[in-house]
Structure 1
């Protein structure tokens, strides 16, 4: 309720005053509790909006993100780092030699891709120790579970005709001798994708395709977090003829007539993506980061708060000027 103060003027001169002056008096009307509350709320809204638009919101957002992205006990990232919430999918494809008898006699090998043979790969970090120098040590446990559904009609008992060896693999064609104890193994992208055309000419049955055989990583730039990763590599073995010398020494009968070829043995894909239950959270987070929604909200708060303060004060002073007793 508004309060009022009355100004009474005293008579001067010889007359006597028997009561209040009968002339008009101006009322000094104070702000009501409701008006004061509205002014405070409007001021707070405007000040908060100005602070947020000036960088306060971004600083607060970055601080929260930094605390949750850090791999430290209690952060959201720690549990995901310790035990990834989604399995990795390992898919293996073997190359079956369709003409083994002709190949050992010098014919170009005809390859048939067989697969996928799928496993779900799980990781868990144990014995985690954080050190004062900002490093961490841990023991990582891995295990694989056969996925019959994703493997289709293939089983672990399928028979593959190929070279009897287990080599390793690189980005176009890289020697693997140093990491496979001297074995003549090489790595490439599957089906010799982006490799020298010569390699494709030495075999038949390969069909390199960018969408199926390239290394893929779908990143969220703002977070540095991959939404989807598919790492694909092919293991190849260098096959050379061993005819031996004129006396037959050093001859390997099964390899005496084979052509020299970088023989694809198998290729594999290790893939992982963000689990479905996290997609919605990431979409909301990215919407807040990429859209001007929050800037609009803070700007509206500034405008509404300022208008509220100005409106209350204007109404109050207009009523004060018009009020006469």
Structure 2
């Protein structure tokens, strides 16, 4: 029986050793296995149901919230007084994006056009599209600044044209018309006699170019040959660099298309992306870790230098001519219209901009932009991109519609595009890319612990059994007996 116990104990020692070895191998090989699974699932490939669906159709809710800066004192502004505005909104639109004309190429890239549509959501809005607001008239004030260096007689003719079509310095119209377009005799006139001066040939609206449109022909890397390049833009509309800016660095098309990034991000990683709407590449930086639905994330935000001018941040010199820090001059890609992009309420901008306009209250919580990324996969979990559209306006001699307007960068609207991972896709994402790798990681250490415990216990049992086997006494050597006869002399007499 003791011999059987020793064999069983020895068997447990062997089993524990094998468990320990398997656990140790898992610790070494496990991260490689997990990484290979991440790589396999993040390559842009129709076979990857989860990530390909997220890339192709963006199956999570995505919204655009628009806020108007309603002008309270248009008559006083024309007399040179400081503008006063009040924020109106949000007016919320559900955004639908879908990639079409998807074409995979032999060099490890894929081309596509992403189409977008916007649908008004009354239940999520603080008003209706029928709400009437007053904003600067881009057609008048923008054209005036564009013409300020032309001969005086041409400016007089333009002013007469404005009067003919009853166009003033400010517009008072319903939100829906300001957003998606309204009929304008001036637009028809300009398209006929000054073609190319404005970006539309139909109705004129702040977002008339956005709805039912696409963001251009993107060609991005699939990551098949190098996962570090997945989603990185190879070209946009056939261009590998932009024609808008003054330096090669500013004209670079960097990063991804702004929807997904390569996996295995660290706190030193950044989020570069190219935005056709901003006409440039931008880059977000790491701020802090976090968690969403139990999924770990890194939050990335815009650095203060993002819209800094060339004086405050030399690499941005290529985006000039600049004004105060916090403004991006996009006139070169907006038909030379004096349009500037900034953070909402001039957040992170030169404080002097706030002095020019009453009614602005910037804060990081309400007006800072951020993207929350799952660092292991590069998939965004929560996105909030907030930008403001501003118009530079001033008095232009010869154009009486500009009155005595002081030089000012006037906020018109700001908008937030936001979305977050939700619904059944959360469970699938968490199971495949968070829970299973975590279970595998813990299993490695469980195997090592179980193996060590089994070896220790089995070894103790084995030695104890061996020590108590027959023929092995614990008595001192002086009183040991070597045979039955030596133990009992009577047995020896009987035998004789």
Q: Which TM bucket (shorter chain)?
A: 0.7 to 0.9
| 1:156 to 2:160 alignment | no
Q: Deviations over 1:158-179 (max 9, x none)?
A: 1111112267878211111111
Picking from 83, 100, 107, the partner of 2:81 is: 107
2:352 is equivalent to residue 198 of structure 1? yes
Indicate the structure (1 or 2) with the bigger Cα radius of gyration: 1
Q: Deviations over 1:218-270 (max 9, x none)?
A: 2333433332221111111111102x3xxxxxx22221211111111101111
| 1:185 and 2:334 aligned | no
Paired position in structure 2 for 1:71: 44
Structure 2 segments unaligned to the other structure (5+ residues):
139-204, 207-276, 279-305, 308-325, 473-496
Q: If the length of structure 1 is used for normalisation, what is the TM-score?
A: 0.77
Secondary structure of the corresponding residue to residue 122 of structure 1: strand
Task: Tell me if 1:236 matches 2:383.
Answer: no
1:304 is matched with: 453
Please, which runs of 5 or more residues in structure 1 have no aligned partner? 3-26, 245-250
Report 1:139-288 matches (<5 A): 139-152=113-126, 154-165=127-138, 171=307, 172-242=326-396, 244=397, 251-279=398-426, 282=430, 285=434
Q: Does 1:62 align with 2:35?
A: yes
Deviations 1:126-155 (A, max 9, x none): 232222211011232222221111113x11
Q: Say what the alpha-carbon RMSD is for the aligned residues.
A: 3.3
The answer to which of 278-287 and 133-142 deviates more is 278-287
- Aligned partner of 2:62 in structure 1 is 88
Cα distance in 2 between the residues matched to 1:173 and 1:105: 26
Cα distance change on mapping 1:186 and 1:306 into 2, 3 Å: same
1:11 alignment counterpart: none
TM-score (norm 2): 0.52
Any idea what the Cα deviations from partners look like across 1:198-227, whole Å, max 9, x if unmatched? 211111111111111111122333433332
Q: Is the 8 A contact 2:24 2:444 kept in 1?
A: no
Tell me, in whole angstroms, the C-alpha distance in 1 between the residues paired with 2:123 and 2:376.
36
Residues matched between the structures, number:
290
